Structure 1
Amino acid sequence: MIKTFKIVVLGGDGIGPEVTDQAVRLLREMEPYLSGVKFDLAEHRVGVGEYQRSGNALPESTFEACRTSDAVLLGAMGLPNVRYPNGKEIAPQLDLRERLQLFGGIRPIRLYHESDTPLKGYGKDEIDFVLVRESTEGLFYGRDVVADLDADEAINELRISRVGAERVCRLAFDLARKRNKAKKVSLIDKANVLSSMVYFRHIFDQVAKDYPDITPEHVYVDAASLFMVRKPDAFDVMVTENMFGDILSDLAAGLVGGMGMAPSADIGEDAAVFQPSHGSAPDIAGQGIANPIAMILSAAMMLEWLDHTETHRAAVALETAVSEVLSDPSHRTPDMGGKMSTTQLTDAVSSSLQKILDSQQLNA
């Protein structure tokens, strides 16, 4: 019996299609090694280019394909010089999160080589934590409010619901149970100032009672930004509000080499989107030098999410291949001080991946 997974591929804008193509390439290379698993990869247009062509950055037919798929692989979106008439940047990835209720933004942070971090004294895997960001409400809740630029003030609303807070906290505790680390969940909030954060903390503490094997802690967001730089190895799983997570995830990526090393997943109860954390980088688009690692690792997260014995095996093989390639500091694209092109770095990952899969086949 063959299990076929329907995967929607959204290239996006700028370097989005360039790095997405590399992840798709590796998925196709792995497919012959997987027993009873096939990938039905369907590409759809979305983002600024589609907005300029049709007036809709996320056509309804594309959304419907995403809704009925097993997973979505998404390239970077948006171009800063192309905006909606109200001045906001085009960001259909946010529409996907809200319409599909992708409440859990998972941002793994892992150091692959000591030369990639600006911090002293940290080697491979000594920075290794996950930031979980609530992705459907928080301060992003009021993002559709259009400011009156002639008014005396502009106001956005920060929303924390019981349902939203509870489900993202449970996701964080469940992740901590699966990790081979300290089994600790840190709530990052601002409960000393904001009543909404007091409420978030209350929900977090209630959820924590159901996980007696996991250590809960509270850290104010300003202190957390300091501790992430001073002692990032003290964190295991962090959970936080939407805007705090948006900011802290970029800081976290900077600890391990930059946005090109930062994969992500936005997951819901029965849908998920996987994409690199970086933007569309229009300044280097078309030059063939974009870092594909974040996109490749996002594909590995997707394989894990698909939750099949063979996709789990593929996810481990892909993550191992990336780790092996990045153990050589010369295997870097220009964003990390290297000289490799996008394709050359993917070639290296592909070569390592094939050896791993061949070895698995021989030992089966």
Structure 2
Amino acid sequence: MTKTYKIVVLGGDGIGPEVTDQAVRLLKEIQPQLSGVAFEFDEHSVGVGEYQKNGDALPETAFEACRNSDAILLGAMGLPNVRYPNGKEIAPQLDLREKLDLYGGVRPIELFHEADTPLKNYGPGEIDFVLVRESTEGIFAGRDAVADLDADESLNIIRITRKGAERVCRMAFEVARKRDKAKKVSLIDKANVLSTMVYFRHIFDEVAKDFPDITAEHVYVDASALFMVRRPHDFDVMVTENMFGDILSDLAAGLVGGMGMAPSADIGDKAAVFQPSHGSAPDIAGQGIANPIAMILSAVMMLQWFDNDETRRAGAALHAAVARVLSDPSNRTPDMGGKLSTTQITDAISIALKDALN
């Protein structure tokens, strides 16, 4: 009996549709090689274009499709020059996180070639960690607040709940348990200053007791930024508050080649969105030079998340194909100093994928 996975595809804005198309192309190439598995793709228009047409960046039809899907592939949404009346950027990806309760932002960081990192003496696989970001509360909990520009001050809150902290910490330990490394989870906080972080740390320590096989440690967020540059090999899994995770994940991407190399997943108990960590890059949209690697690696994460023997095999094959292509430093798009187009990178991965699946 064939298991059909319904995948909603949201290209979004800027380079979003360009990179999403490449991931869908490879998934369609994989499908005939799988036994008892099929993919059904359902594309919807979301983002700035929809906002400009009908005032809603995430139409109800698109959201309902997402809610009824097995997974969501999202390219990139938002353009810096198009904003809501309150001055904030259009970010329906945040609406998806909140509406679908996608509390765990999982962001793997992996170095594929020594030429891609600004750090000395690191080769393939020697930078390899996962940042797990709480994605529904923290400082972002106050994102609906509107600034009074004539007032004498403006405030945002940090919201940490027991439920939110406990479930994201538990997810981080479960991610660590599945990895091949030293099995360590580092809580990244600011418990020396903020009471909310003292609370987060207390809950982290409670959860850690349920995982005696995994080392638990605490690292202040400012120190972690230093350690990520000085000794990134010491990290295995990091778990942190929403804003801290937002900032540190960009730093982490810089260690392995930039945002074009940084996949991510926003995962909840009943739904998941898989998307590159980068933005919509309107300055290069339509030129055919966007880096599709982060989007393709996000598709790898989706295949693994389906938790089916065949999709896991497909995810491993697609990851191996990416690694093989990136082992040649000439296989790079312009953002990484190369000359290949978006399609040329995908062509190379497609060829490597055929070998990896056999």
TM normalised by structure 2 equals: 1.00
Question: For residue 342 of structure 2, what is the aligned residue in structure 1?
Answer: 342
Question: For residue 362 of structure 1, what is the aligned residue in structure 2?
Answer: none
Residue 315 of structure 2 aligns to which amino acid in structure 1?
Answer: A
Structure 2 distance, partners of 1:260, 1:297, is: 10
Structure 2 distance, partners of 1:144, 1:45, is: 24
Structure 1 distance, partners of 2:306, 2:51, is: 30
2:160 counterpart of 1:160:
yes
SS in 2 for 1:193: coil
Structure 1 distance, partners of 2:68, 2:19, is: 24
Structure 1 distance, partners of 2:291, 2:172, is: 28
Structure 1 distance, partners of 2:331, 2:217, is: 38
Question: For residue 93 of structure 1, what is the aligned residue in structure 2?
Answer: 93
Structure 2 distance, partners of 1:354, 1:17, is: 24
Residue 264 of structure 1 aligns to which amino acid in structure 2?
Answer: S
Question: For residue 61 of structure 2, what is the aligned residue in structure 1?
Answer: 61
Question: For residue 198 of structure 1, what is the aligned residue in structure 2?
Answer: 198
Structure 2 distance, partners of 1:83, 1:22, is: 28
Pairwise mapping of residues 241-252 of structure 1 onto structure 2 (< 5 A)? 241-252=241-252
SS in 2 for 1:188: strand
Residue 258 of structure 2 aligns to which amino acid in structure 1?
Answer: G
Residue 300 of structure 1 aligns to which amino acid in structure 2?
Answer: V
Question: For residue 207 of structure 2, what is the aligned residue in structure 1?
Answer: 207
Structure 2 distance, partners of 1:244, 1:332, is: 30
Residue 355 of structure 2 aligns to which amino acid in structure 1?
Answer: K
Question: For residue 12 of structure 1, what is the aligned residue in structure 2?
Answer: 12
Structure 2 distance, partners of 1:172, 1:213, is: 13
2:319 counterpart of 1:319:
yes
Pairwise mapping of residues 220-235 of structure 1 onto structure 2 (< 5 A)? 220-235=220-235
Structure 1 distance, partners of 2:118, 2:350, is: 28
SS in 1 for 2:76: coil
Question: For residue 118 of structure 1, what is the aligned residue in structure 2?
Answer: 118
Residue 141 of structure 2 aligns to which amino acid in structure 1?
Answer: Y
2:242 counterpart of 1:256:
no
Q: Once the 2 structures are TM-superposed, how far is the Cα of residue 96 of structure 1 from its aligned partner? A: 0.2
Q: Once the 2 structures are TM-superposed, how far is the Cα of residue 70 of structure 1 from its aligned partner? A: 0.2
Residue 266 of structure 2 aligns to which amino acid in structure 1?
Answer: D
SS in 2 for 1:11: strand
Structure 1 distance, partners of 2:265, 2:356, is: 25
Question: For residue 170 of structure 1, what is the aligned residue in structure 2?
Answer: 170
Q: Once the 2 structures are TM-superposed, how far is the Cα of residue 106 of structure 1 from its aligned partner? A: 0.3
Pairwise mapping of residues 40-79 of structure 1 onto structure 2 (< 5 A)? 40-79=40-79
Q: Once the 2 structures are TM-superposed, how far is the Cα of residue 308 of structure 1 from its aligned partner? A: 1.1
Question: For residue 285 of structure 1, what is the aligned residue in structure 2?
Answer: 285
Q: Once the 2 structures are TM-superposed, how far is the Cα of residue 355 of structure 1 from its aligned partner? A: 1.6
Residue 163 of structure 1 aligns to which amino acid in structure 2?
Answer: K
Q: Once the 2 structures are TM-superposed, how far is the Cα of residue 68 of structure 1 from its aligned partner? A: 0.7
Deviations 1:93-131 (A, max 9, x none): 000000000000000000000000000010000000000
Residue 248 of structure 2 aligns to which amino acid in structure 1?
Answer: L
Question: For residue 103 of structure 1, what is the aligned residue in structure 2?
Answer: 103
Residue 169 of structure 1 aligns to which amino acid in structure 2?
Answer: C
Residue 91 of structure 1 aligns to which amino acid in structure 2?
Answer: A
Structure 2 distance, partners of 1:272, 1:4, is: 16
TM normalised by structure 1 equals: 0.98
Residue 266 of structure 1 aligns to which amino acid in structure 2?
Answer: D
Deviations 1:269-292 (A, max 9, x none): 010000000000000000000000
Q: Once the 2 structures are TM-superposed, how far is the Cα of residue 149 of structure 1 from its aligned partner? A: 0.6
Q: Once the 2 structures are TM-superposed, how far is the Cα of residue 174 of structure 1 from its aligned partner? A: 0.3
Structure 2 runs not aligned, ≥5 long = none
Question: For residue 3 of structure 1, what is the aligned residue in structure 2?
Answer: 3
Structure 1 distance, partners of 2:40, 2:120, is: 45
Structure 1 runs not aligned, ≥5 long = 360-364
Structure 2 distance, partners of 1:23, 1:117, is: 24
What is the RMSD computed on CA atoms of the aligned residues?
Answer: 0.4
Aligned length: 358
Q: Once the 2 structures are TM-superposed, how far is the Cα of residue 34 of structure 1 from its aligned partner? A: 0.5
Deviations 1:177-220 (A, max 9, x none): 00000100000000000000000000000000000000000000
Structure 2 distance, partners of 1:306, 1:43, is: 19
Q: Which runs of 4+ in 1 moved over 3 A?
A: none
SS in 1 for 2:287: coil
Question: For residue 300 of structure 2, what is the aligned residue in structure 1?
Answer: 300
